[in-house]
């Protein structure tokens, strides 16, 4: 099941992440981009065919490598890394 932005917001994690970024004076564009990246990551995680995996560094590494292997620019993958790292550390 893919989580929509509304479902994630019900969990509170997206709103907490937005609040953190607002208090740290992130630009509105960065807040929007990082929020979308986190939602995309969680949706990818939910679609894994394996048993539900716990969120971990290895899981994030796997996601980022898959994105890079799919031909995305390193700058895009680096933005993904930054957003997910901040989400993990601050929410």
Over residues 36-73, the pLDDT tens digits come to: 999 899 888 888 876 556 777 888 999 999 999 999 99
* Domains of the chain, first to last: 5-90 (1.10.150.130)
Evaluate whether 33 touches 83 at the Cβ level (below 8 Å).
yes
Give pairs for 6-10: CB < 8 Å, separation 24+. Answer: 8/38, 8/39, 8/42
Q: Is pTM beyond 0.75 here?
A: yes
Cα–Cα distance, 91 to 84 (Å, whole number): 10
Residue with tokens 């894994």: 48
Over residues 13-26, the pLDDT tens digits come to: 888 899 999 999 99
């Amino acid at each position: 099941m893919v989580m929509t932005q509304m479902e994630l917001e019900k969990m509170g994690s997206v709103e907490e992440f937005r609040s953190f970024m607002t208090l740290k004076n992130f630009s509105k564009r960065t807040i929007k981009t990082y929020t979308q990246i986190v939602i995309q990551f969680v949706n990818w995680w939910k679609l894994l065919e394996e048993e539900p995996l716990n969120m971990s560094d290895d899981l994030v590494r796997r996601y980022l490598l898959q994105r890079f292997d799919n031909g995305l620019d390193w700058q895009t993958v680096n933005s993904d890394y930054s957003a997910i790292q901040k989400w993990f550390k601050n929410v």
